Structure 1
Amino acid sequence: MSLAHQVELCTVAGAWRLLPGSALSLKPKADAVLRLRRGGVWVTLGETDHGMPDASGDCFLREGEALLVPAGARVVMESLQSQGTDGPVLFDWTDLAVNPAAASRFRREVVTPSRELVLALGQAAVALVRVLRGLLGYSEYLVAGRGRVLTPLESMRS
C-alpha cells in the first residue's frame, strides 16, 4: 500500500490519520505544531535548514501531547498502534503565524477599512459619471430658445 493511501484526511479540517504500521515524512516551510488527538507516535526530528542541532532527535508522543516543529526540520512519524487491535493515530498539523493577534488586528484596522474605502470611492465615481451623463442629456433643454432650432413638436407647445 502506498503512503498516500496510509495517510487519510479526517472530516475535521487540520485532523489527519496515520494508519497502524505506517510512517509519514514532513518538512514544514514555517514553524508548526504537531498535536496528537488519539494514539501514539515515534517522532524523529531532523536538523533544520538553519542548523539547529539541539532541536533534533527522537521522541515519543502520546494522546494530548504536542511538539513544536521548527521551519525546515525534517519530521518522520511512525505509528505505535498495532495492526489489528488499535485504530489509526489521529493528529493535527497547524502552521504557526508570526503573531496571529497582530495579523488579525492589522486586517481589522487597516485591510478591511482600505477595502471599504476603495469600494466607496468606486461607487462615488460611478455616481459622478451618472450625474454628469444626466446633466449632458439635459443640455439641449438648458439652451432651448437661445439660438437652437426647435423641433416641430416643441414649437407647437409654445
Structure 2
Amino acid sequence: MFPVSDHELQQSPGLSGLAGCWKLAPGQALSLRPRVAGVLRIRQGRAWATLGERPRGHGPDAGDYFLLPGEQLLVQPGRHLVLESLDQGALGFEWLPRAPAPAPAPEPLLQPLADLYVAARLAGDASRRLLCGLASTALALLVGRRGVGPSRP
C-alpha cells in the first residue's frame, strides 16, 4: 500500500492512475470527485465515507457510510466522496475505477455466428448420413440372418 495525500488525488490527471491500494493516515481526510464510476473497498480499519452534496437526514440518507474491512461503496462519476479513518491507525482502502462498458460491436460477432450456422448444417448433414448408414447396415444384417442358418418348420 502507498500513502496518499489529498493534494495528490486532487491534482491527478485521471482516475485510471489511482487504481490500487492506498493508506490514509489517521486524522487525515481524503476528498475525491471521480471522473468515472468506481468502487471504494476498505482493506484495513474502519472508514467513515460521506457521499453527496447536501445532507437529507441521517446515515445513508445524509450520504454517510460506515465501512468495515471487506465492505465496498459504489461511487458514481462527479459525486463528492470524503473519506477518513474511524480508528487510531491508518485506513487501508482500494479504489477500483470502472471503465464504461464498451458498445457492442456487431461486426466481430457476425463471422462467428455465420461459422456456427455452417457448422450446424454440416453436423446435421453428417448426422443424417450416419443414421441412414446405420439403418441400411442394420437392415442388411437382418436380411442376411434370415437367409443364413437352418430353416425351422
TM-score by length of 1: 0.48
**So what's the TM-score if we normalise by structure 2?**
0.49
